[in-house]
Structure 1
């Protein structure tokens, strides 16, 4: 999208036509209106496609006539994660150094008196001005500028919070480390903490967490966030007074369409109790809990044990209905023997299964190809190792009816239902 196209898209007649064709296929729309010089047809088709994606990612915001660019929509926080961040951060004044589509700024405007949105791309900053008007938001100021240059010009302690989602894609390359993102929060650690006593950094869910205190001395807390069982982000909270304090880590599991916040907090180095044998139920913690290395805390709180010492599969005799993750009823388990595995499949009439693999020599693709196993949403085959580190196969069914697919709302800093 160009700035000229953006201005055209803001025209009431163009907005009305987009709304009228919001259910159309973007390619068919472009073909239908091909040659219409009075309309920004390409940009309109692009908006129709974006609105389809926004309806899923931003369900309440998408009811407004917002405008998007495909890349900014892809990189923006989802609505559930943005709402959670707004529940964590509040105060009088915050600066968002991330800019972009501005979803985080929109939600943070609900918990701060004033929000300063900064974006160096003139297209995105102009788009944000349009979207703020559509949402009726008046306490967000838009600044088209380089974020660090702008921040350096403010007196110290100008803000209570700084929020930054460093760009992890520069010149077409995706990065994970903080040092290779923009702005570089490691290099500018002290600058950030002069301008605000507290900083929230949205980092890649793939970021290695164990060594962050060495490069971010003021790091006080790490919050790993998942939405619908997909790890979305790691939030790094910096506090000016936390240089000599240990880092707290917690995992947060969220669900689309629910206000439930399931949290686990504790020691990532807690001991893992290994079961002497596989029990009636198999449990897989939510990805945020696994990423935060808090599976042992969850196991202890729930009275469960690990299947073995190296993978995050838990087992127990009791059914825990509000377990934060997936739970399965074990039907059979056998040592892994390739020569007899076809007989095992035939004995249980298994033609399709969801294959789960942890600490196992063969890949999922090789297992499917070699034994002709189709996909299934209810039947599961776990290829892993037992307490003696011997390869095993576990045949199990996903539990839905008894436990439900989503945990209920619970208090914070506790493993729910355990």
Structure 2
């Protein structure tokens, strides 16, 4: 979005038009008003499309007539994750090095007396500033320019916390690595910790979490955060007081109807209790637990066993609830034999199913194509290995 388009959206008549057509199809709106040189038609259509997405991603914030850009809304934290992340931080002053649409900044403003929001794009910075005015938030200072240069200009210990959500786009694609992000938080490690005693880095959910302490010596905690079963972000907390070489704590936070948390003690035994045969119930832990590699601790805590030594499927004879993840009732568990599998599906009258596989030689696409399995939300087929390493398949119903 250009500054001219943004300024045109501030026109009360244009804002009223957005409100009046909020329920329209954006493409249909653009076609209907095509050729209207007196209106920013493309920008209005973008706002209509974004408001529909914001209603899901930002349910309470979207009750305000906020402005968005497609890319900024896509990259912004969801409301639940942003609110929980802000709960980790408090103090007098904070700086958000990557303001963007400003969702994280909005929640930081509730916990700090003063927040500095840095943004390279003037148009996006002004858009976020306008949104804060609409919401009556007055304790945020906008800084436009390179965030590293802005941070370097402040005196040491100017802030209690630094928050940074580095861009993970590289040459048109996406990169999960820290050093490929912008800004490069590995290079800025020492600078950030001079300006604040604590730093929160919002990293990609695809980030490999092992060995991060070699890149970030002050790394004190790694937190995988999921919302409704989908891992949304990995938070890396840096603490100036952290002893270099000390293993960071690893934590999984599952935000759903209720919040579930599990933390590594740093001394979990590496061995897994593996069931000789699957029980009556199958469990798939929440994505944040799998990401944090805490399935073993969860299994010991809930007295569950693994299906095998390599995957994060758990099982039990009796149902364990509530379970942080998905639970399934096992109806069939059989050895997987390629020659007879099609016949077995026909005998069980299985034509449609949701298909999942872990540690299995055939992909989901190959299984669907080869055995003509349609889609279903009622039945689930799991393909994996048993305790002996033999291929098995399970037919299940979701609890």
Same fold (TM over 0.5): yes
- Indicate whether 1:13 and 2:13 are aligned: yes
Please tell me whether the aligned partners of residues 201 and 235 of structure 1 are also in contact (alpha carbons under 8 angstroms): yes
Q: Which blocks of at least 5 consecutive residues in structure 2 are unaligned? A: none
> What residue number does 1:250 align with?
251
Q: Distance in 1 between the 2:361 and 2:318 partners?
A: 31
Counterparts of 1:216 and 1:223 in 2: how far apart (Å)? 15
**How far 1:171 moved relative to its partner?**
4.2
Instruction: Report what 1:414 is aligned to.
Output: none
SS in 2 for 1:278: coil
Instruction: Give the corresponding residue for 1:402.
Output: none
1:12-411 to 2 correspondences below 5 Å: 12-244=12-244, 245-255=246-256, 258=257, 260-266=258-264, 267=266, 270-399=270-399
- In 2, Cα distance between equivalents of 1:372 and 1:144: 55
Distance in 2, Cα, partners of 1:123 & 1:86: 25
Using the alignment, how far apart are the partners of 2:333 and 2:51 within structure 1?
47
Q: What CA distance in whole angstroms lies between the structure 2 residues aligned with 1:303 and 1:269?
A: 15
> 2: CA distance between counterparts of 1:318 and 1:220?
38
Report SS of the residue matched to 1:5.
Answer: helix
Deviations 1:61-89 (A, max 9, x none): 11111111110011000111101111111
* Cα distance, 1:265 vs structure 2: 1.0
Structure 1 contact 269–293 (Cα < 8 Å) conserved: no
Cα displacement (A) at 1:111 = 1.3
1:411 alignment partner in structure 2: none
Deviations 1:110-143 (A, max 9, x none): 1111111000111111111110011111111111
* SS of 2:356 mapped into structure 1: strand
Give me the whole-angstrom Cα distance separating, in 2, the residues matched to 1:89 and 1:368. 47
Task: Describe the superposition over 1:140-197 as per-residue Cα deviations: whole angstroms up to 9, x where unpaired.
Answer: 1111121110111111100000000011114423211110111111011111100000
Give CA deviations for 1:365-401 in whole Å, capped at 9, x if unaligned. 11111111111112111110000000001111110xx
For residues 226-273 of structure 1, give each alpha carbon's deviation from its aligned partner in whole angstroms, at most 9, with x where no partner exists: 111111110000000113332000111112xx4x32111114664211
How many residue pairs were aligned?
A: 396
Q: Which has the higher contact order (CA 8 A, sep 6+)?
A: 1
Q: SS at 2:179's partner residue?
A: coil
Asked if structure 2 preserves the Cα contact closer than 8 Å seen for 1:270 and 1:297, the reply is no
Instruction: Give the ranges of 4+ consecutive aligned residues of structure 1 lying more than 3 Å apart after TM superposition.
Output: 267-270
Aligned in 2, Cα 1:393/1:84: closer, same or farther, shift over 3 Å? Answer: same
Kept in 2, the 8 Å contact 1:117–1:142? The answer is yes
C-alpha separation in 1, matches of 2:170 and 2:63? 32
Counterparts in 2 of 1:393 and 1:327: CA distance versus 1, 3 Å? same
Q: What secondary structure is seen at the aligned counterpart in 2 of 1:275?
A: coil
Specify the SS of the correspondent of 1:246: coil
Please say if 1:4 is aligned against 2:7: no
Residues in 1 aligned to 2:237 and 2:329: alpha-carbon distance in whole angstroms: 39
How far does the alpha carbon of each residue in 1:338-364 deviate from its partner, in whole angstroms, 9 at most, with x for none? 111122212221111111100111111
2: CA distance, partners of 1:114 / 1:335: 62
Whole-Å separation in 1 of the counterparts to 2:349 and 2:17:
54
Deviation at 1:205, TM superposition (A): 0.7
Alpha-carbon distance in structure 2 between the residues aligned to 1:273 and 1:221: 27
Distance 1:382 1:42 in 2: 46
CA contact (8 A) 1:219 1:243 kept: no
Q: Which moved more, 1:288-297 or 1:25-34?
A: 25-34
Counterparts of 1:87 and 1:137, CA distance in 2: 18
